[in-house]
Amino acid sequence: MPYPPANLSIQGRPLSRRRFIQGAGGLLTPVIASLILPASAGLILPRKSLAWPFPGPGRAPYFILDSFTDSDGTTLEAHKANWVKMNSDPSAEIHGNRGRVADIDQEPRYAWNQSLGPDCEVFARFPVSGSSTGFLNRSLLLRYTTTVQATADGYMFKTFSGADMRIRRADNGTETTLDSDTIAVSNGDKLTLRAVGSTITGLQNGVEVLSATDATYGDGGFPGLAIGGDTDTVTMTEVDNFGARTL
């Protein structure tokens, strides 16, 4: 029996056996797929089915995912044991199936305690962002060597209030800016931090906006995130649809 069926396609594009296996993230073996997909089948996968959490044909799956679905008031660390708070700031909580920091001077930083390979990426959406007279922080972390902020090494994609984006390197907890630009983040934007070899890039809604070359930390490490601000005028900052993978 042919596998995959000759007319299997995504958005009208033929799907080869190799791309089918990769796009399925290894979830369908050739034997199982042959049983459930006869040669006469005409399977069309719509665009939305691949948008999240599936990265698309020929790409590695996101094996770390969190949509923050839980009861209101649940802290991130109680929601999933994988979330490890890296500092002593009050915890982020879940509200409306989103992670939230609201109405308090805090900047909790979290590591996900599963290590990625050297080439990797992390992303999240930031559906609601509050206002602040100081800075409003939305950060993604990669290649972090420890889950303790004060002693951690690694890279981050950090955005502040107004139009301010930065790629930064943490050295034993001390942060150094590697690249920056005056680009604003809008509510609902998807931010991605990617590390491939010595190239560290930040993307906004799939478009590269920052890039730096730095070989200080080339091994794999923990992904993570931070949300918050530095004054009590922060009204709300939320995060949703967190994902990370080894490339």
Classified as helix, coil or strand, 241 is strand
| Residues 97 and 145 grouped into a single domain | yes
Residue 68, in any domain of the structure:
yes
Closest of 145, 126, 138 to residue 86, by C-alpha: 145
**Domain that includes residue 45, residue range:** 9-50
pLDDT means per 10 residues in the chain (247 residues)?
43 45 43 39 36 53 86 94 93 88 76 94 82 69 95 93 89 96 88 97 96 96 85 67 94
| Residues 147 and 238 grouped into a single domain | yes
| Residues 168 and 107 grouped into a single domain | yes
CA gap 245, 233 in Å, rounded: 35
Tens of pLDDT along 197-226?
Answer: 999 999 999 999 999 999 999 999 999 999
Kind plus residue range of the DSSP H or E element containing 23: helix 17-23
Residue 229 is predicted with a pLDDT of: 65
Residue 151 is predicted with a pLDDT of: 96
CA gap 33, 54 in Å, rounded: 18
| Residues 94 and 39 grouped into a single domain | no
Residue 129, in any domain of the structure:
yes
| Residues 38 and 127 grouped into a single domain | no
CB contact at 8 A, 45 and 38 = no
| Residues 73 and 193 grouped into a single domain | yes
CA gap 161, 139 in Å, rounded: 12
User: Per the structure, how many domains does the chain have?
Assistant: 2
| Residues 83 and 202 grouped into a single domain | yes
Residue 177, in any domain of the structure:
yes
CA gap 132, 230 in Å, rounded: 8
Burial (0-12, 13-18, 19+ Cβ within 10 Å), 240: buried
Residue 61 is predicted with a pLDDT of: 63
| Residues 36 and 156 grouped into a single domain | no
As a residue count, the chain comes to 247
> Can you give the CATH number for the domain in which 207 is found?
2.60.120.560
Residue 41 is predicted with a pLDDT of: 39
Closest of 4, 7, 6, 17 to residue 44, by C-alpha: 7
| Residues 30 and 104 grouped into a single domain | no
pTM attached to this predicted model:
0.74
Residue 6 is predicted with a pLDDT of: 45
| Residues 35 and 68 grouped into a single domain | no
User: Could you tell me the end-to-end alpha-carbon distance of the chain, in angstroms, rounded to an integer?
Assistant: 32
Strands (E), 19-82: 44-45, 64-66
At a CB cut-off of 8 Å and minimum separation 6, what does 17 contact? 3, 4, 30
CA gap 129, 140 in Å, rounded: 15
Residue 58, in any domain of the structure:
no
At a CB cut-off of 8 Å and minimum separation 6, what does 95 contact? 72, 73, 102, 238
| Residues 193 and 242 grouped into a single domain | yes
